[in-house]
Chain A
Amino acid sequence: MRDFLLGLAFVIGGGVVIAVAQTYPTMPTLQFGPSLFPSLIGGGMVIGGLVLALTRVGQLRIAFAGPRAQTPRYDYRGLLISLLPCALIVFYILASEWLGAPLCMAVSMLILMLLRGARPWLSLIVSLVVATAIYLLFSRYLLIPLPEGTLLSQILP
């Protein structure tokens, strides 16, 4: 079922790529230009997606014809939890300019550690120490301008 849907997603994605590629200018000296490769790739996505979807049609029929009780329940809770690291990355992107990179990293690490049942005091110590170490290592030693944040800019070394 999921392969069928992914196949369809590739077909639609490939179609969009081809449509967008057609808007690129062509070169006067050649009969093709910047649209050629994206169009070929889009074509490949459409064909590959179609093959994938069509080869799964048989399985789809069986799945629909069979008793519904046999279909395993999808783990939506697991899927939601797996998206938490992504949400924390978005939190870092949006909040690091204000809170600063070390604090954002510490908060993210603390939440993830607590989520998996690590001891609170251990999680707090590890996340604070690691966040400070990463910040000092990257910003002071490797000279990468990690955001200090306006909140703690006067406190950090």
Chain B
Amino acid sequence: MDSFLQGLAMVFNVQTMLVIVAAAVFGLFVGAIPGLTATMAVALLVPITFYMDATPAIAAIVATSAMAIFAGDIPGTYLNIPGTPASAAYVGESYRLAQKGRARETLGTNLVCSVIGGLFGTLVLVFVSPSLAEMALNFSSFEYFWLALLGLSSSIFIAIGSRVKAFLSLTVGLLLSTVGLDMMSGAPRFTFGVPDLMAGINFIPVMIGMFALNEIMMFYGSRAEARSVPVMAKDSVFAGAPKHVKTYWRNVLRGSSLGTLIGALPGAGADIAAWIAYALGKSRSKEKEKYGTGHIEGIVDASSANNSGISGAWVPALVFGIPGDTITAIVIGVLYMKGMNPGPTIFMNGGGQVYALFTVFFVANLIMLPIGYLAIRASKVFILTPRKLLMPVILSFCIVGAFAINNSITDIWIMLIIGMVAFVLARNDFPMAPAILGLVLGGTLENSFMSSMLKSNGDLLAFFERPISAALGALVILIWLLPSLIRLVRRLRSSPPSSHKPRSS
């Protein structure tokens, strides 16, 4: 009890609370700029945390990452350009809702779902972290292979429009993921002698090219000032959120639990959690046909999942010192620096510090409500600013954002080329989401496949020998066969048996 009170005192003091507010505002700013990610926001914070005590330092990181993930929804809703990769899964739904004059309602629902997801992930972090981390630790390359294939398969089946085009879009993303040095042999692939390509293609410039540059090119190609988001007087931030959360409470719960679970898997972060939650939400929805037209249900699942994924990623980081995502990879370094060595002993020796950490999560997620509310109110600037002034500014941010990843001009070239390819593909109704997912998961797919083949001496049956691997494999095959099975069942149902047909005279 003393440790608990000590932990509360570490958080509820003027210094830590001010740090949380300032970090949330910083996260809001970084997250709302396309190309700047939550990881980048946290990385930029690290030098500042050198001068802080352990609790405010961790509080700053938690508040920044949570707020940045939510803030990514703001440009996504108003401009169809996701601020962070975690918002890319449902950017189409948000933007179409905004076009119907429901931007604030959408962002309000996003905010409430993000807070619920974040709090859910925190509860899991507090109560079930040891057992969940143990399960994630049992995952080997065989399970990761199936998990990656599951995500890629989902991207084709959730895509709107032609599945052939979705598949071709996926191959573009997968091809980009093969650029760089091969993990097993060290042979350079598709690098064309450019040293900057040896480490592979970073997906931030690709994302900026596909979503932002493509959108800018569309705007200049269309000649019209149209496609702006209308402002409705009755559009309120929180008016619709309680109703949506009540209607789709199952989605919130499912998205939050899925996000926490995926976040806890090393290597899979908030962005993958959002994609899979969106796909699962669509497959389980009673109104599948509304997806892609601006349907709030599509947002509820994924926006709960990406914020719960942030908390979930802390589970293996704290319990085993294994980062759940890129943010926790940075966090582990900060924890060591502050003398909080991550691992099972942190719960024994941490004392009030561990309780302070848990409290920080609750406070950082709850503080998102007032700050997020003010941000949504202020985000009207995206509507009021004419696009002829806004689009050139976004282009400048795109150039600087792409450059900022590695301080390399090559990343600007990558953004440019990908943007042009995406422009051609998008004009011909190719979905962009599978390409992004292909790039994100391509490396995991190939590396886990190669590692598994080395372990099993080339025996493909090894992918079905472990129970979790076999179950995931069966699920992937089921997803592939599902459309054909549904078609077959429909055909059987629609054609009545010939023996029952009345004879016409």
User: Chain A residues in contact with chain B, CB under 8 A?
Assistant: 2-3, 6, 10, 14, 17, 20-21, 24-25, 27, 29-34, 37-38, 41-42, 44-45, 48-49, 51-52, 55, 75, 78-79, 81-86, 88-90, 92-93, 101, 105, 108-110, 112-113, 115-118, 122-123, 126-127, 130-131, 134, 138, 142, 144-146
With A41-B175, A131-B396 known to touch, is A29 a contact of B454 (CB < 8 Å)? Answer: yes
Q: Could you tell me if B213 and A118 are in contact, using CB atoms closer than 8 angstroms?
A: no
| Cβ-defined partner of B453 (8 Å) among A30, A81, A113, A118 | A30
Further contacts, 4 of them, CB under 8 A, given A14-B171, A81-B223: A34-B189, A75-B221, A93-B412, A105-B396
Kindly name the residue among B167, B178, B399, B458 whose own CB sees the greatest number of chain A CB atoms within 10 A.
B399
Per the bound structure, the CA–CA distance linking A85 and B222 in Å amounts to 13
| Cβ-defined partner of B400 (8 Å) among A14, A101, A110, A112 | A101
Contact sample, A vs B, 15 pairs, CB 8 Å cutoff? A10-B171, A27-B185, A29-B454, A30-B453, A34-B187, A37-B446, A42-B175, A44-B167, A78-B223, A79-B221, A82-B423, A85-B216, A105-B400, A109-B395, A146-B403
| Cβ-defined partner of B184 (8 Å) among A27, A38, A49, A145 | A27
Per the bound structure, the CA–CA distance linking A21 and B187 in Å amounts to 11
With A81-B221, A92-B412 known to touch, is A52 a contact of B454 (CB < 8 Å)? Answer: no
Collect the chain B residues with CB atoms within 8 Å of residue A34's CB. 182, 184-185, 187, 189
Q: Could you tell me if A52 and B164 are in contact, using CB atoms closer than 8 angstroms?
A: yes
Tell me whether chain B's interface is mostly helix, strand or loop, or mixed. Answer: helix
| Cβ-defined partner of A134 (8 Å) among B388, B397, B449 | B397
With A3-B428, A37-B446 known to touch, is A113 a contact of B388 (CB < 8 Å)? Answer: yes
Collect the chain B residues with CB atoms within 8 Å of residue A127's CB. 392
With A81-B220, A82-B423 known to touch, is A105 a contact of B178 (CB < 8 Å)? Answer: no
Does B409 count as interface, using CB distance less than 8 angstroms? yes
Min Cβ gap B419→A in Å is: 7
Per the bound structure, the CA–CA distance linking A45 and B173 in Å amounts to 11
Collect the chain A residues with CB atoms within 8 Å of residue B189's CB. 21, 24, 34, 38
With A41-B175, A49-B168 known to touch, is A109 a contact of B392 (CB < 8 Å)? Answer: yes
Does B264 count as interface, using CB distance less than 8 angstroms? no
| Cβ-defined partner of B416 (8 Å) among A89, A117, A142, A144 | A89
Min Cβ gap A142→B in Å is: 6
Does B232 count as interface, using CB distance less than 8 angstroms? no
Collect the chain B residues with CB atoms within 8 Å of residue A126's CB. 389, 393
Collect the chain B residues with CB atoms within 8 Å of residue A32's CB. 453
Q: Could you tell me if A86 and B419 are in contact, using CB atoms closer than 8 angstroms?
A: yes
Min Cβ gap A126→B in Å is: 6
Per the bound structure, the CA–CA distance linking A89 and B212 in Å amounts to 13
Min Cβ gap B127→A in Å is: 38
Q: Could you tell me if A108 and B395 are in contact, using CB atoms closer than 8 angstroms?
A: yes
Per the bound structure, the CA–CA distance linking A122 and B392 in Å amounts to 13
Kindly name the residue among A31, A52, A86, A105 whose own CB sees the greatest number of chain B CB atoms within 10 A.
A86
Q: Could you tell me if B416 and A51 are in contact, using CB atoms closer than 8 angstroms?
A: no
Chain B 159-177, CB-CB to A under 8 Å as 1, else 0, gives: 0001011011001001100
CB-based A-B contact count at 8 angstroms? 158
Q: Could you tell me if B399 and A89 are in contact, using CB atoms closer than 8 angstroms?
A: yes
Q: Whose C-beta in chain A lies nearest to the C-beta of B412?
A: A93
The 10 closest A-B pairs by CB, nearest first: A82-B221, A116-B388, A34-B182, A112-B392, A109-B392, A82-B217, A48-B168, A105-B396, A78-B221, A144-B404
Per the bound structure, the CA–CA distance linking A157 and B403 in Å amounts to 21
With A48-B171, A142-B404 known to touch, is A37 a contact of B178 (CB < 8 Å)? Answer: yes
Min Cβ gap A15→B in Å is: 13
Does B2 count as interface, using CB distance less than 8 angstroms? no
| Cβ-defined partner of A82 (8 Å) among B44, B162, B190, B220 | B220
Q: How large is the interface on B (under 10, 10 to 19, 20 to 34, 35 or more residues)?
A: 35 or more
Does B289 count as interface, using CB distance less than 8 angstroms? no
Kindly name the residue among B190, B392, B458 whose own CB sees the greatest number of chain A CB atoms within 10 A.
B392
Q: Could you tell me if A108 and B388 are in contact, using CB atoms closer than 8 angstroms?
A: no
| Cβ-defined partner of A117 (8 Å) among B184, B388, B420 | B388
Does B225 count as interface, using CB distance less than 8 angstroms? yes
Chain B 409-449, CB-CB to A under 8 Å as 1, else 0, gives: 10011011001100111001000000000000010011001
Q: Could you tell me if B171 and A44 are in contact, using CB atoms closer than 8 angstroms?
A: yes
Collect the chain A residues with CB atoms within 8 Å of residue B185's CB. 24-25, 27, 33-34
Per the bound structure, the CA–CA distance linking A6 and B430 in Å amounts to 11
Per the bound structure, the CA–CA distance linking A154 and B324 in Å amounts to 46
Min Cβ gap B435→A in Å is: 12
Q: Could you tell me if A10 and B168 are in contact, using CB atoms closer than 8 angstroms?
A: yes
Does B239 count as interface, using CB distance less than 8 angstroms? no
Q: Could you tell me if A86 and B182 are in contact, using CB atoms closer than 8 angstroms?
A: no
Q: Could you tell me if A41 and B171 are in contact, using CB atoms closer than 8 angstroms?
A: yes
Q: Could you tell me if A88 and B168 are in contact, using CB atoms closer than 8 angstroms?
A: no
Per the bound structure, the CA–CA distance linking A25 and B387 in Å amounts to 51
Min Cβ gap A6→B in Å is: 6
Q: Could you tell me if B396 and A109 are in contact, using CB atoms closer than 8 angstroms?
A: yes
Q: Whose C-beta in chain B lies nearest to the C-beta of A24?
A: B187
Q: Could you tell me if A85 and B175 are in contact, using CB atoms closer than 8 angstroms?
A: no
Kindly name the residue among A32, A52, A82, A134 whose own CB sees the greatest number of chain B CB atoms within 10 A.
A82
With A17-B175, A109-B393 known to touch, is A55 a contact of B164 (CB < 8 Å)? Answer: yes
Q: Whose C-beta in chain A lies nearest to the C-beta of B30?
A: A142
Min Cβ gap B462→A in Å is: 14
Per the bound structure, the CA–CA distance linking A75 and B187 in Å amounts to 44
Q: Could you tell me if A134 and B400 are in contact, using CB atoms closer than 8 angstroms?
A: yes
Q: Whose C-beta in chain B lies nearest to the C-beta of A6?
A: B428
